[in-house]
Amino acid sequence: MRIKAKAKDGVVSVKAGLKHEMLSYDQAKKKGKEANFIVYIEAKVDGKPVYEASTSQFLSKNPFIKFKFKGEAGKELELSWIDLKGNTKSKKAKIK
């Protein structure tokens, strides 16, 4: 997972690249695999949510997301996701 978080004038802009195959039901069928994709992405600062997305099989492979929220530099942003099979991953990044 790659996260870039930059603050300017009280607004934090985040760009994040998540690593996931995002196999849709159709794609999985063709490959003889089980469908699996990220279903929920959340970002928090100081334990409070700043971004919340419920997602589907139609996000591209290795999803790339951009979002903004009110915040300051120096704090830590924690981004996490969960997929259809229940795997989770989370990563912290300092807001610059």
* x/- map, 66-85, other proteins, by CB under 8 A: xxxxxx--------------
Contact 16, 1 (CB under 8 A): yes
* x/- map, 6-25, other proteins, by CB under 8 A: -----x----------x-xx
Please give the Cα distance from 63 to 51 (Å, whole number). 15
Does the footprint of other proteins cover residue 26 (CB under 8 A)? yes
Phi/psi-derived region of residue 30, left when phi > 0, alpha when psi is between -120 and 50, beta in every other case: alpha
Does the footprint of other proteins cover residue 65 (CB under 8 A)? yes
Residue 61 tokens, joined: 């492979």
Size of residue set near other proteins by CB under 8 A: 35
Does the footprint of other proteins cover residue 55 (CB under 8 A)? yes
Please give the Cα distance from 54 to 40 (Å, whole number). 4
Query: What is the contact surface with other proteins in residues (CB under 8 A)?
Result: 11, 22, 24-27, 30-31, 39-40, 42, 45, 48-61, 63-71
